[in-house]
């Protein structure tokens, strides 16, 4: 049984998430796993109905999710022109990441079709790595604040807040992940002090995993390598903001960030959440042209997590077949709508199962 909390969020979330849910329903019919889900219409839809983007007790609602659900599927939280206050479903994101302490944000970067490669001469053999972004602290820890607000002396402190335990557990997660996935190398991408926390902890943890090659790469060099020599990259572990930036480089070299999924985990917990890497795409809201594939691939990652590997693999084959058929949205050079792409993926899933 897979019990999912579906939380679309803001912006294009309400266009792409229904396609991910319908794809899960088709997979559930074809591969006979039990599926149960509840939709929490937070974000702009909630605002239009109630005047607030999320319920007041959102933190408690999120904290209670693991008692009822195995996983959550989230769209994105962020600006939406229909919410003039600028309020957003980012509170959901904070609750899922920091509230539930899902500290390892796993972002696979794989080229699904050679024709999508924006890098000259690089194929799907070359572009296949995973960025593991620390998800609860670092530059996005929420610590710090503003002082003397509104005066010429206003100051802002936004520290990169790293703890020994926080750094250690995500690096351990990366090495364990590498071993489970049969990967050969883990690189830490950072630019702290030469003998700073990330470097020291990385050395400490890597010594316990002799079968995996450890590599220390400055984060700027890592961004450069992703574009010039992605074939040299295997698993990358990084501080919160550094990992966020690197995974967007990863999105670009997959052909579009509209393809890039993520899963957020805590090795000690039986609950994880899955999301596209992209945001609310304010420039294309309501046009029906957002690429639903990142959301669909996030749903696929969720089935992997729950052990429904056959169904998960079939969804990926269906996405690849749909890309190959040219039924793609404009970010991939096509002219199909969000709904047409979703339908094409489900048709491909049906055909795949019939073969």
Site for ligand NAI, rule CB under 6 A: 12, 16, 76-79, 93, 257-258, 275, 278-284, 290-291, 294, 329, 331
Q: How far is the CB of 190 from ligand NAI (least distance, A)?
A: 21
- Of these partners, Mg ion, ligand NAI, none, which one is at the site of residue 294 (CB under 5 to 8 Å by kind)? ligand NAI
- Of these partners, ligand NAI, Mg ion, none, which one is at the site of residue 54 (CB under 5 to 8 Å by kind)? none
The alpha helices in the chain, defined as continuous H runs, are 13-31, 44-50, 58-68, 90-94, 164-180, 197-206, 219-228, 240-253, 293-305, 309-325, 338-354
What is the distance between the alpha carbons of residues 314 and 64, in angstroms, rounded to a whole number? Answer: 32
Q: How far is the CB of 163 from ligand NAI (least distance, A)?
A: 23
What is the distance between the alpha carbons of residues 168 and 159, in angstroms, rounded to a whole number? Answer: 19
Q: Which of 80, 134, 172, 244 binds Mg ion (CB under 5 A)?
A: 244
Q: Which stretch binds Mg ion (CB under 5 A): 58-66, 98-106, 238-246, 268-276?
A: 238-246
Q: How far is the CB of 158 from ligand NAI (least distance, A)?
A: 15
- CB closer to ligand NAI, 241 vs 320: 241
Tokens of 192: 């702290």
- CB closer to ligand NAI, 239 vs 331: 331
Q: Which residues contact 228 (CB under 8 A, 6 or more apart)?
A: none
Regarding 87 and contact with Mg ion (CB under 5 A), the answer is: no
Q: Which residues contact 124 (CB under 8 A, 6 or more apart)?
A: 110, 111, 112, 113, 114, 117
What is the distance between the alpha carbons of residues 236 and 131, in angstroms, rounded to a whole number? Answer: 5
- Which positions from 309 to 328 touch Mg ion by CB under 5 A, shown as an x/- string? --------------------
Q: Which residues bind Mg ion (CB under 5 A)?
A: 244
């Amino acid at each position: 049984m897979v019990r999912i909390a579906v939380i679309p969020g803001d912006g294009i979330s309400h266009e792409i998430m229904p396609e991910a849910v319908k794809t899960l329903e088709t997979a559930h019919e074809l591969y006979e796993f039990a599926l149960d889900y509840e939709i929490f219409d937070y974000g702009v839809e909630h605002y239009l109905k109630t005047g607030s983007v999320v319920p007041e007790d959102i933190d408690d609602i999120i904290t209670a999710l693991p008692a009822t659900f195995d996983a959550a599927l989230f769209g994105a939280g962020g600006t939406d022109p229909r919410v003039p206050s600028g309020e957003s479903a980012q509170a959901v994101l904070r609750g899922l990441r920091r509230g539930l302490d899902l500290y390892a944000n796993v972002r696979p970067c794989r080229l699904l079709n050679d024709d999508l490669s924006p890098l000259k001469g690089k194929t799907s053999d070359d572009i296949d790595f995973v960025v593991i972004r620390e998800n609860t602290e670092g530059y996005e820890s929420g610590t710090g604040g503003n002082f003397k607000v509104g005066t010429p002396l206003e100051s802002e402190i936004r520290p990169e807040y790293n703890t020994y335990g926080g750094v250690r557990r995500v690096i351990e997660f990366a090495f364990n992940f590498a071993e489970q996935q049969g990967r050969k190398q883990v690189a830490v991408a950072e630019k702290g002090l030469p003998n700073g926390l990330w470097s020291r902890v990385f050395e400490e943890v890597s010594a316990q995993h002799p079968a995996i090659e450890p590599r220390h790469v400055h984060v700027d060099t890592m961004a450069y390598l992703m574009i010039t020599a992605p074939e040299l990259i295997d698993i990358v572990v990084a501080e919160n903001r550094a990992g966020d930036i690197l995974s967007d480089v990863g999105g670009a070299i997959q052909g579009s960030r509209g393809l890039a999924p993520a899963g957020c985990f805590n090795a000690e917990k039986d609950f994880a959440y899955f999301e596209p890497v992209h945001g609310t795409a304010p420039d294309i809201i309501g046009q029906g042209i957002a690429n639903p594939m990142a959301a669909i691939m996030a749903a696929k990652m969720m089935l992997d997590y729950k052990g429904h590997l056959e169904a998960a693999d079939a969804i990926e084959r269906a996405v690849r077949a749909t890309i190959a058929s040219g039924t793609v949205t404009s970010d991939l050079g096509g002219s199909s709508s969000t709904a047409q792409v979703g339908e094409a993926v489900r048709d491909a899933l049906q055909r795949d199962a019939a073969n």
